[in-house]
A = this chain, B = another copy of it.
Amino acid sequence: MRATVIHAPGDIRVEDVPEPTIIAPTDAIIRTVVTCVCGSDLWAYRGLEPVGQPHPMGHEYVGIVEEVGSDVTSVRPGQFVIGSFATSDNTCPNCLAGYQSNCVHREFMSTCQAEYIRIPNAQGTLVATDEHPADELLPSLLTLSDVMGTGWYAAKAAEVRPGSTAVVVGDGAVGLSGVIAAKELGAERIIAMSRHADRQKLALEFGATDLVTERGEEGVAHVRELTGGVGADSVLECVGTQESMRQALHSTRPGGNVGFVGVPHDVAIDGQELFFSHVGLRGGPAPVRAYLPDLIQRVFDGRINPGKVFDLTLPLEQVAEGYKAMDERRAIKTLLTP
Contact = CB atoms under 8 A, between A and B. Distances in A.
Interface string A81-112: 00000000000011001110110000000000
B97 A254 contact: yes
B267 A93 contact: no
A255 B94 contact: yes
Interface in A210-231: 228-230
A281 B276 contact: no
Nearest to A272: B264
B263 A272 contact: yes
B267 A277 contact: no
A284 B273 CA distance: 9
A260 interface: yes
A102 B268 contact: no
A75 to B, nearest CB: 26
Contacts of A242: 271
B278 A281 contact: no
A253 B97 contact: yes
Contacts of A268: 268-271
Interface in A102-135: 102
A272 to B, nearest CB: 5
A17 interface: no
B267 A271 contact: yes
A245 interface: yes
A56 interface: no
Nearest to A262: B275
A275 B254 contact: no
* Residue among A229, A278, A285 facing the most chain B CB atoms (10 A cut-off): A278
A177 B328 CA distance: 55
A245 B271 contact: yes
* Residue among A263, A267, A275, A285 facing the most chain B CB atoms (10 A cut-off): A275
Given A94-B255, A253-B93, A99 B278 contact: yes
A230 B93 contact: yes
A265 to B, nearest CB: 8
A274 interface: yes
A295 interface: no
A182 interface: no
A5 B284 CA distance: 47
A254 B99 CA distance: 7
Contacts of A254: 94, 97, 99, 102, 284
A283 interface: yes
24 contacts: A93-B230, A94-B230, A94-B253, A94-B254, A99-B254, A102-B254, A242-B271, A245-B271, A260-B271, A260-B275, A263-B272, A263-B275, A264-B271, A264-B274, A266-B271, A267-B270, A269-B270, A269-B271, A274-B281, A274-B283, A276-B284, A278-B282, A279-B282, A280-B280
